[in-house]
Amino acid sequence: MMQIDVLSLFPEMFEGVLHSSIMKKAQDQQAASFRVTDFRDYSTNKHRKVDDYPYGGGAGMVLKPEPLFAAVESLTSTSESKPRVILMCPQGERFTQKKAEELAQEQHLIFICGHYEGYDERIREHLVTDELSLGDFVLTGGEVASMAMIDSVVRLLPDVLGNDQSAVHDSFSTGMLEHPQYTRPASFNGLDVPAVLLSGNHAEIDKWREEQAFQRTAERRPELLEEAPLTEHQQKLYQQWKRKID
């Protein structure tokens, strides 16, 4: 079972997210266990202060190292494996599906959610193993970003999704965007499902899906094609696409 810890100044923000939908199912099936800790509890200040003014001056407040070091030490004191300690930070590596798949192989993850102006640099250099960012924008704190990352990781754990193949064919898992999906009714307001999907010919359906995944990726995220593991059929489509745009 994967252990996921979150260090946050606002633990109440996680109540609905970690106890609903797939996150609840993951806990019920003992695929993952969640623990959210207010790292104010590890402050040595009588007012539970966890931040201070930056040396050298400047705007805003900086998170102090002592509470976070103490909190991580406490959370790892009984851990059977060395955890990945992940700092939520807009300066960090951009989070991707590949990173989610990597983290899903771990036994213990600790997410540190910051606030204020930033972190004491000693936290970055000597406490964390990863610095991750949800994208090139700034949030009020790391809570929302960590929720998204936790969801992305936990859904990859065995038996969490109803069908393990669901995660395999997600957008980005194959290096490309997912092909279009349809369901009943076959005709709605004069809009029909592509005939190939109703044919029962699985070889043709697979070929159509490969083509559609390639086309959608080329139109919306063409940069992904440079590194995507293309099938033989998609390789031919790629060469045709390159000749067309060159």
Question: Which residues are annotated binding-site positions for S-adenosyl-L-methionine?
Answer: 114, 134-139
In the structure encoding, which two tokens stand for residue 139, read together? 């949030």
Place of tokens 């898992």: 173
In the numeric block, the tokens 């002592």 are attached to: 66
Tally of CB atoms within 10 A around 38: 18
Q: In the annotation, is 90 catalytic?
A: yes
> Phi/psi class of residue 106: alpha, beta or left (left: φ > 0; alpha: ψ in -120 to 50)?
beta
Token pair 């590596």 is found at 93
> Catalytic: 170?
yes
Which parts are annotated binding residues?
Answer: 114, 134-139
Q: Which of these is catalytic: 101, 151, 170, 178?
A: 170
Classify residue 149 by its DSSP letter. Answer: H
The single-letter code of the amino acid at 243 is R
SS3 53: coil
Q: Mark whether 117 is an active-site residue.
A: yes
Q: Which of 83, 90, 131, 143 is catalytic?
A: 90
The token duo for 94 is 């951009």
DSSP state of 178: P
Q: Which amino acid is at 110?
A: I
CB 177 within 8 A of CB 224: yes
- Residues pairing with 221 in the sheet: none
Distance CA 22, CA 25 (A): 5
Catalytic residues: 90, 117, 155, 170
